[in-house]
Amino acid sequence: MAESSSHQQQPVASPSPPPPAPISQTPGLRASRLTQVFDQALARTLRANSYANFAGCFPTPARHVPASLEGVWRQLNAKLEANAKAEFEEIIAERDAIPHLNELDRLVGDARVRKEQGGENHDIQERAVPHTLGAEDLYKAHLTPFLQEAQSTLNTRLEATNTENTELAQTVQAQRLEIEQLLSRLGLVVSDIEGAAAAATQFSKEHHIRQDAVQMDEEVRARPGL
C-alpha cells in the first residue's frame, strides 16, 4: 500500500510550455550591429570635418592664430560627437531598442529551428492521414499558426527597426548640415572682423594726418609777426 501511495503522489508533468526566458538587457547581435553602424556613420562625419577642411574656411585665423583655430575645431568636433552619442543613447532608451532587438534575435532563431524541424517532416505529413499521425507530428501541425504569427510579428519589428535606422540617418544628416551652417556663420564673423580691422586702420591714418595739420597751423600762428 505504501508503494502504491508513493506512486500516486508523484508530480505530473505540466502540458503547458515553459514560460519564455527573460529578455536580456545586454546588446545582442542586432543591437550591437546597430551601435556599430551608428559609430561608423559618426566617425565618417567627424573625419569629413577635418582640421584641414576647417582651416581652409578660415585662412586668416589659420595663418595668424592657428593654435586658437585648432582649439575651436577640436571643441566643435567634441561637442558634435558628444551630442550625437547622447541623442543616440536617448533614442535607444526611449524606444527600448535593446530588449526589442534581443527579442527579435530570439524569434528569428526559434523560427529558423522550427522551420528546419518542419522541413524534415514535411514529406511525411503530406503522405500521412491525420488520424495516423503521432502526438509529435500533430503537435507540430498545430504549431503552424503560431509560427505564422511569429513571422508576422518578426516582419513588423523588422520594419520598425528599418524606420528607426532611417530616422537615425536623417538625424546624422541634419547634424552635418548644422555643422556646415555653423562654419558659414563663422566665415561671416571673420569677414566682419577683417572689415572692422581695415576700417580702424584707415581711421587711424586719417586721424594722424588731421593731427599733423592742426599742429602745423598752431606753429604758424605762434610765429611772431604773422
Residue 201 falls inside a structural domain: no
Residue 226 falls inside a structural domain: no
Residue 178 falls inside a structural domain: yes
Residue 6 falls inside a structural domain: no
* pLDDT for residue 214: 67
The structural domain count of the chain equals 1
Residue 105 falls inside a structural domain: yes
Give ∠ CA 178-184-190 in degrees, rounded to 5.
135
* pLDDT for residue 188: 80
* pLDDT for residue 99: 86
* pLDDT for residue 11: 47
Residue 5 falls inside a structural domain: no
Contacts of 46 (CB under 8 A, 6+ apart): 77, 80, 81
Give me the residues of the chain with pLDDT under 70, please: 1-25, 119-142, 200-214, 216-217, 219-221, 223-226
* pLDDT for residue 127: 52
* pLDDT for residue 194: 77
* pLDDT for residue 184: 81
Structural domain including 146 reads: 29-191
Alpha carbon of residue 67 to chain centroid: 31
Residue 196 falls inside a structural domain: no
* pLDDT for residue 15: 43
Q: What is the 3-state secondary structure (H, E, C) of the chain?
A: CHHHHHHHCCCCCCCCCCCCCCCCCCCCHHHHHHHHHHHHHHHHHHHHCCHHHHHHHCHHHHHHCHHHHHHHHHHHHHHHHHHHHHHHHHHHHHCCHHHHHHHHHHHHHHHHHHHHHHHHCHHHHHHCCHHHCCHHHHHHHHHHHHHHHHHHHHHHHHHHHHHHHHHHHHHHHHHHHHHHHHHHHHHHHHHHHHHHHHHHHHHHHHHHHHHHHHHHHHHHHHCCCC
* pLDDT for residue 209: 62
Residue 52 falls inside a structural domain: yes
pLDDT in tens, 8-27: 444 444 444 444 555 556 88
pLDDT in tens, 178-202: 888 888 888 787 777 777 777 766 6
